[in-house]
Amino acid sequence: MAFTLSIYPWVYVGKYDNNWSGDFIEQEHLSPEEESALPADELEALHNRRNSFPDLPLVNYTSQYGLGCFEGVKAFPQKDGGLKVFRPGENAARMARSMEGLGMPGVDTELCEKAILGTAGRNAELGFTVKYDPEWEKDSFLSAGSIYIRPFSWSEPGIGISLSKKPWLVVVNTAVSAYFSGDNFNAVTTDMIRATPKGTGWIKCDANYVIPCLAKNKAVQAGYMEAIFLDAEEHKYIEEGSSCNFFTLMKDGTLVTPELGDTILPGITRKSIITLAQDRGVKVEERKLALEEVLSEGAESFVTGTAAGITPITSLTHEGNKVSFGKGTPGELSMSLLKELKGIQYGVLEDRFNWMVSVES
Ligand X SMILES: *Cc1c(COP(=O)(O)O)cnc(C)c1O
Residues annotated as catalytic are 204
Closer CB to ligand X, 272 or 314, in the complex? 272
Choice between 46 and 268, CB closer to ligand X: 268
CA 63 to chain centre: 21
CB 195 within 8 A of CB 239: yes
- Helices then strands, counting H and E runs in the chain, come out as 9, 18
Is residue 330 a contact residue for ligand X (CB under 6 A)? Answer: no
- With contacts defined by CB under 6 A, name the span among 171-179, 241-249, 317-325, 338-346 that binds ligand X: 241-249
Give the residue, chosen from 47, 50, 122, 204, that forms a contact with ligand X under the rule CB under 6 A. Answer: 204
Among 69, 265, 295, 333, binds ligand X (CB under 6 A): 265
What one-character DSSP code corresponds to residue 324? E
Rounded CA-CA distance 141/345 in Å is 10
170/203 with CB nearer ligand X: 203
CA–CA distance, 187 with 220 (Å, rounded to integer): 9
The alpha carbons of the chain give a radius of gyration, in whole angstroms, of 20
Q: Least distance (Å) from ligand X to the CB of residue 244? A: 5
Considering only residues 43-102, where is the footprint of ligand X by CB under 6 A? 72
- 239 forms part of the interface with ligand X (CB under 6 A): no
Task: Report the alpha-carbon distance of residue 35 to residue 301 in Å, rounded.
Answer: 42
Asked if 228 and 241 count as a contact pair (C-beta separation under 8 A), the reply is: yes
Residue 240 engages ligand X in binding (rule: CB under 6 A): yes
- Under the binding rule (CB under 6 A), the answer on residue 269 touching ligand X is yes
- Among 164, 173, 245, 311, the residue binding ligand X under the rule CB under 6 A is 245
Say if residues 159 and 58 touch (Cβ distance below 8 Å). Answer: no
Report the residue from 270, 318, 339, 342 that binds ligand X according to the rule CB under 6 A.
Answer: 270
By CB under 6 A, tell whether 267 contacts ligand X.
yes
Give yes or no for residue 304 binding ligand X (CB under 6 A). yes
Instruction: Determine if 119 is a binding residue for ligand X (CB under 6 A).
Output: no
User: Between residues 43 and 220, which has the closer beta carbon with respect to ligand X?
Assistant: 220
Distance CA 321, CA 296 (A): 12
Task: State which H helix or E strand residue 335 sits in.
Answer: helix 332-345
Element (H, E) at 336: helix 332-345
Nearest to 336 by CA among 140, 144, 106, 165: 140
Verify binding: residue 345, ligand X, rule CB under 6 A.
Answer: no
Indicate the residue among 22 and 267 with the shorter CB distance to ligand X. 267
Q: With CB under 6 A, what is the number of residues at the site for ligand X?
A: 15
Chain contacts with ligand X (rule: CB under 6 A): 72, 204, 208, 240, 243-245, 265, 267-270, 304-306
